[in-house]
Structure 1
Amino acid sequence: MKKKLIATTSEHFKSVFQHKPEAVFLSPGRINIIGEHLDYNDGFVLPAAINKYICFAVSVSETDECTLVAKDLNETYQFNWRDEIQPLDKMWVNYMLGVLHQLKERNFSLKGINIVFSSTIPMGAGLSSSAALECGFGYVLNKLFHLGLSREEIALIGQQAEHTFVGVKCGIMDQFASVFGKKNKVIKLDCTTLEHEYHAADFKNYSLLLIDSNVKHTHLTSGYNTRREEVEAGLAIIQRRFPSVKTFRDCIEEQLIELQEELGETLFKRCHFVVNEIRRVNEAVYALDRNNFEALGKLMFETHEGLSKEYAVSCEEVDFLVDFVKNEKQVIGSRMMGGGFGGCSINLVEKGSEEALFEKISQAYFEQFGIQLNRYKVKIAKGTSKVKKKIKN
């Protein structure tokens, strides 16, 4: 799949520009094992890059003109990099222009560039194709023009691009995981300080199966913003009573229970989820370090329960997917992944059982909702990188 992506992207570049690319780069999507909605709550997350990629075939142009070709969309955008850069009504272009704008703000001198990109990251499935596009483009420009940016700076530039040119106030996790990923390693990331450490994630007799509900409810942006407001309000109440609590990391369940009446039902549930999810991330790392995958799976189920019942960001369709596999002995863990209100469930399943399981759940899901499921079997892969092999054209 990776070799085919590299070959077809390179061939398309040659057919458009009449010469082979100078270089080819891969930028991966990501999963998050556990630690949902913690990136804006001073928590830890446990993401990893995966073997689904955006491939960039590139060369420096002899002029100041830039040509961006989205192969999968059959769309092209041309501009002069010296001109003032502003957001457009083409969303895929904005992810890239946002990165270029960040570099111009830092007074980097660039040249024109020709790029063809193509992807195996499914759109809208919560696998962060947007972060892969932003960070991949930033990485390409950094390498081609010897800008001297660190991986951390590239991730932060990608995040700022999304804030300014796309209008999504995302956390840092997606960009960080895409750039910093390592094969068979998850990243325990402190989203506040960006301190991080790698932990082995060779799942032995289990594999990661993503089941895509193929629904995306419109509550995502409004629900996301509302949750942020609710947890901020809850934390302010906690801090008034317990001044030593600077962030949710300092808060314990007993303090919440003491304040349950003052917080009220909704704020209590939201804060209760956050405090327990921070604990679960630390327990998940402990389980991974000991190859205790059953304990990890149990934590995944607990996270989903919290996301659904306390944080209220799941939906009927994804709840169905997780509830269904609870009774399947070959599945040891499952939960909603991503911002919520649709998207994928992430499942830890016995190797070799994936096809039969997917068939069984697909049939039940179609009978319930009349919607076809998609599935993606993923492996944990390395982060954004240049393809070293010689490009054959």
Structure 2
Amino acid sequence: MIDQEMKKAVLESFENTYGKKENVKAYFAPGRVNLIGEHTDYNGGHVFPCALTIGTYAAAAKRDDRMIQLFSLNQDKVGVVSFCLDDTIAPSEAAGWTNYPMGVVWAFEKRGMKLDKGFDIVIYGNIPNGSGLSSSASLEVLTGFILRDLYGFDVSNQDLALIGQYSENNFNGCNCGIMDQFAVAMGQENSAIFLDTADLSFEYAPIKLDGAKIIVTNTNKKHKLTDSQYNARRSMCEEALSILQKKLDIKGLGDLSIEEFEANKDLLTDPDMQKKAKHAVYENQRTIEAVKALKDGDLEHFGKLMRQSHESLRDDYDVTGIELDTLAEEAWKVPGVIGSRMTGGGFGGCTVSIVKDEAIENFKKTVGENYLNKIGYEATFYTVEIGGGPEVI
């Protein structure tokens, strides 16, 4: 469901910024929300995200020289940022938001896909910045999609996800798993993606929410994963894995059943590490169970598992914080809320809730007021729809 106003805005801005050009095209890549399966993707577990109808728009065209020029309507005060392909591409504080698209250009070149000429681009996103709905993955996949279209590179959408993850890990310094980029690149309308991150096998699971909607609630507390405890959590899980591997033949924490973990958890003598590993194992099993519940049409059970997921992220993985906890805990009290949990990396960002249609207004009013009273500033509510992957528009 393309927003024609957003499309019009990027095309007009392109002309205003760079002048009239032939062969200017408009593009879109979605944001994503993860319904369940948090902090499992770098532990070889399952995730269950879906692409959204909000995302990142762009207008782009090739140039005749070696310059790349980038402009964002969301950060218009920054102005046009320019790079030359003959210079070394490296991340920098000064480059700001352009580190994400330039990281993708860098990652393409690492794979031997070199750009013969530069390009001009205008970006405009309607994903709330810092909300945990993957504005960075959306921008990465969008950039890769545009490079494929403009330069004729032979890469699949799944490759675009892997290139986006590689650039975020190695150029931008956030040790994220594959989920965000995969959900953005492989999104399908009205379906979530049940993805096994251990081998990238996946299936589309239709989301039938008869009489209910997905509501994303933004804490409006900004989070920046590279500056947060995200990388520290990942390191601790990797350490736990290496300890367990001395006894068990496993490639990731996602390989463990709950019974196997419980039988071997005492190998992890650091109580905090044991809790982090426990979350990775239990959350993976919850995700498998949740998808089965959805297939069986048991939304109530799916909702219970969402709550358990949040409690585990709060008590064992310690990535929620007072803002996310307040949103989730207030949501659980409202009649007609099927389930609610934090989504994304944590430390701010958003919750995702499944709410019956007749309860939506009361949900927004009650949770909104209680959040404002406790936290001191407002939360923002978005009723979201599940969309498809990147496209030329």
TM-score normalised according to structure 2 size:
0.92
Provide the C-alpha distance between the structure 2 equivalents of 1:220 and 1:163, rounded to a whole number of angstroms. Answer: 10
Task: Report 1:216-235 matches (<5 A).
Answer: 216=222, 221-235=227-241
Q: Tell me how far 1:246 sits from its aligned partner.
A: 4.1
- Listed one character per residue, the Cα deviations across residues 81-124 of structure 1 (whole Å, up to 9, x for unaligned) are 23322223222111111111122231434322111111101100
What corresponds to 1:49 in structure 2? 51
Which of 314, 318, 327 aligns to 2:320? It is 314
Q: Tell me how far 1:346 sits from its aligned partner.
A: 0.6
1:174 alignment partner AA: D
Provide the C-alpha distance between the structure 2 equivalents of 1:174 and 1:222, rounded to a whole number of angstroms. Answer: 17
1:135 alignment partner AA: V
What corresponds to 1:94 in structure 2? 99
Cα separation, partners in 2 of 1:219 and 1:48, compared to 1, 3 Å: closer
Segment of structure 1 superposing worse, 58-67 or 41-50: 58-67
Task: Report 1:240-279 matches (<5 A).
Answer: 240-241=246-247, 243-264=248-269, 265-279=271-285
Q: Tell me how far 1:63 sits from its aligned partner.
A: 2.5
Task: Report 1:42-191 matches (<5 A).
Answer: 42-74=44-76, 75-88=79-92, 89-105=94-110, 106-191=112-197
- Listed one character per residue, the Cα deviations across residues 252-301 of structure 1 (whole Å, up to 9, x for unaligned) are 33343334545343233222222211111111111222222111111100
Segment of structure 1 superposing worse, 11-20 or 292-301: 11-20
Which of 323, 334, 344 aligns to 2:329? It is 323
Provide the C-alpha distance between the structure 2 equivalents of 1:240 and 1:147, rounded to a whole number of angstroms. Answer: 43
Q: Tell me how far 1:219 sits from its aligned partner.
A: 8.7
Q: Tell me how far 1:333 sits from its aligned partner.
A: 0.3
What corresponds to 1:305 in structure 2? 311
Which of 256, 266, 289 aligns to 1:283? It is 289
Aligned residues of 1:211 and 1:376 also touching (Cα < 8 A): yes
Cα separation, partners in 2 of 1:354 and 1:145, compared to 1, 3 Å: same
Segment of structure 1 superposing worse, 350-359 or 131-140: 350-359
Segment of structure 1 superposing worse, 277-286 or 350-359: 350-359
Q: Tell me how far 1:23 sits from its aligned partner.
A: 1.0
Cα separation, partners in 2 of 1:257 and 1:107, compared to 1, 3 Å: closer
Which of 19, 24, 27 aligns to 2:26? It is 24
Residue 215 of structure 1: SS of its match in structure 2? coil
Task: Report 1:365-384 matches (<5 A).
Answer: 365-384=371-390
- Listed one character per residue, the Cα deviations across residues 289-340 of structure 1 (whole Å, up to 9, x for unaligned) are 2222111111100101111111111111211111111121110100011111
2:88 alignment partner AA: E
Segment of structure 1 superposing worse, 226-235 or 271-280: 226-235
Count of matched residue positions in the alignment of Structure 1 and Structure 2: 386
Residue 225 of structure 1: SS of its match in structure 2? helix
Cα separation, partners in 2 of 1:67 and 1:194, compared to 1, 3 Å: same
Residue 171 of structure 2: SS of its match in structure 1? helix
Q: Tell me how far 1:218 sits from its aligned partner.
A: 7.6
Provide the C-alpha distance between the structure 2 equivalents of 1:228 and 1:355, rounded to a whole number of angstroms. Answer: 38
Q: Tell me how far 1:172 sits from its aligned partner.
A: 1.1
User: Is residue 199 of structure 1 aligned with residue 178 of structure 2?
Assistant: no
Identical pairs, percent? 34
What runs of 5+ residues in structure 1 fail to find an aligned partner? 388-393
Provide the C-alpha distance between the structure 2 equivalents of 1:117 and 1:367, rounded to a whole number of angstroms. Answer: 36
Superposition RMSD in Å: 2.0
Provide the C-alpha distance between the structure 1 equivalents of 2:282 and 2:107, rounded to a whole number of angstroms. Answer: 37
Aligned residues of 1:220 and 1:339 also touching (Cα < 8 A): no
Segment of structure 1 superposing worse, 213-222 or 146-155: 213-222
Cα separation, partners in 2 of 1:326 and 1:101, compared to 1, 3 Å: same
Provide the C-alpha distance between the structure 1 equivalents of 2:295 and 2:74, rounded to a whole number of angstroms. Answer: 40
Segment of structure 1 superposing worse, 329-338 or 6-15: 6-15
Cα separation, partners in 2 of 1:247 and 1:63, compared to 1, 3 Å: closer
Segment of structure 1 superposing worse, 347-356 or 182-191: 347-356
Provide the C-alpha distance between the structure 1 equivalents of 2:126 and 2:225, rounded to a whole number of angstroms. Answer: 26
Which of 213, 219, 229 aligns to 1:213? It is 219
Q: Tell me how far 1:222 sits from its aligned partner.
A: 4.9
Aligned residues of 1:256 and 1:268 also touching (Cα < 8 A): no
Provide the C-alpha distance between the structure 2 equivalents of 1:14 and 1:351, rounded to a whole number of angstroms. Answer: 42
Cα separation, partners in 2 of 1:43 and 1:62, compared to 1, 3 Å: same
Provide the C-alpha distance between the structure 2 equivalents of 1:117 and 1:218, rounded to a whole number of angstroms. Answer: 20
2:132 alignment partner AA: G
TM-score normalised according to structure 1 size:
0.92
Provide the C-alpha distance between the structure 2 equivalents of 1:205 and 1:325, rounded to a whole number of angstroms. Answer: 18
